[in-house]
Amino acid sequence: MADPKLTPAQVGVLMNEGTFRGLRKLLDSDQITEAHASHVLGRSYETLLKQVKEARSEMQHVQMALARLENFLTLAKQSRKPVRSDTVAAQSSQIGVALMAFDGWVVSLMETDLTITGMLNPAVTRAKIKEFATAMNALMDKRLAKNHPAYKDPDAFDGYVNGWRKNPAATTVQGSTK
């Protein structure tokens, strides 16, 4: 079977609504045939599977970068060298390099996660991105107020993780809950 092309309007629906909600909307309004929708869904699953494969690879990189950071910190903690300004500067630089690698792979993994969620529900994904920034800034403020750089707040990211559950409108198509 030839690869049927989507119209710009159909692509717009899928990009704005997400794969499943968009296909349902297109099918309900007779803007796409069932056969064409099936083909689009198959391609979407293929794309999602590629994203899962990418996430697995990124997880391996995260693990390796974290192991390097852990090894350096363990060695630095056990070091008996005198603490001088130049020693602190060198260690800070080495930690920075290891942390940049770890941070880069974590961000890459998060981008893949948000790509997957964005394919499924772009509106929720956009809300999650904003909620993460808000939650992280609030946590940083709490840490500053408590003078504790690693203070944990178990509820800080509740909106990020569960926000879509609190907003039924974000999960409905033409009034029905998905």
pLDDT in tens, 20-53: 999 999 999 999 999 999 999 999 999 999 999 9
- Residue 58: count other Cβ atoms within 10 Å of its Cβ: 20
pLDDT at position 174 is 41
Report residues of the chain scoring pLDDT below 70.
1-3, 164-178
Across the chain, mean pLDDT equals 89
Report field, pTM of the whole predicted structure over 0.85: no
Question: What residues form DSSP beta bridges with 172?
Answer: 177
Q: DSSP letters of 13-56?
A: HHHHH-HHHHHHHHHHTTSS-HHHHHHHHHHHHHHHHHHHHHHH
Q: Given this model, what pLDDT does residue 91 score?
A: 82
Q: Determine the pLDDT at residue 166.
A: 63
pLDDT confidence of residue 112: 98
